[in-house]
Amino acid sequence: MNKKIILQDLGLKDYKETWDLQENFFKKIVDIKIKNRRGNYDLLTPNYFLFVSHPHVYTLGKSGDISNLLLNEEQLKSKGATFYKINRGGDITYHGPGQIVGYPILDLDNFFTDIHKYLRLLETTIIKTLADYGLKATTSEGETGVWLGVDTPFARKICALGVRASRWVTMHGFALNVNTDLGYFDNIIPCGIRGKSVTSLRVELNKNYIDENEVKEKISKHFLDLFNAEFINKVDT
């Protein structure tokens, strides 16, 4: 089993270009798995982890409801935003500058074959990261992602989660609001959940700016600890 993960920090990158890159890595892993099975080979499958931020974009999961997007095409253009219907689970969410997005493209056969455990570990990665900043975050029963103030009138979501998995290979991932312009969430019903607000690390800590590289370092540490893995910086396209 290969527990080494190729790490790439893409900086600010177009959503569709990043999606295509994910699909490329996903297909590469699946193709090796098919070759192993058909030819009785034992080739190692690679794993990838992409850090990225996107220009303003709304994405709708395969089970999502388009009515949760409150903008028409002209209004999207006026806000400098794009829209994609994509192949992850979940409903609608927003990505934009100041948000840390993580896309683990893993062969879970290298780790464990349990998609629910995988989702819980992604949530735990973010919960532990936020604890490093003195915030008590939790999950919310029946809802995905990471929340603050659950079971209070002030419940608010700080991290969205949506993944795709096939043949135990994952793609898509999490989106943590750090310095995000939360006004863009006013244009959707986030994750299709009415009556719940969103927040960011900057808002919760009442700071003008949070060092995003520091947050990524903390995410990386907790992710690697939980998955008993290591990052390598080999560039493999």
Query: Dihedrals φ, ψ of 217, to 5°?
Result: -65, -40
State the DSSP H helix or E strand holding residue 116, giving kind and residue range, or none if neither. helix 115-131
Which is the catalytic residue, given 29, 81, 191, 215?
A: 191
Token pair listed for 38: 């058909």
Q: Active-site residue 191, yes or no?
A: yes
Token pair listed for 122: 């992604």
The CA-based diameter of the chain, rounded to the nearest angstrom, is 57
Question: Amino acid identity of 208?
Answer: N
- Distance separating alpha carbons of residues 158 and 160, to the nearest angstrom: 7
- For residue 67, CA distances in Å to 75, 91, 121 come to 15, 10, 31
- Distance separating alpha carbons of residues 1 and 107, to the nearest angstrom: 9
Sheet with 57-60: list strands edge to edge. 82-85, 57-60, 92-95
In sequence order, which residues have a C-beta less than 8 Å from that of residue 117 and are 6 or more positions away?
Answer: none
- Distance separating alpha carbons of residues 173 and 165, to the nearest angstrom: 10
Cα 86 to the center of its chain, rounded Å? 13
Give the active site residues.
Answer: 191
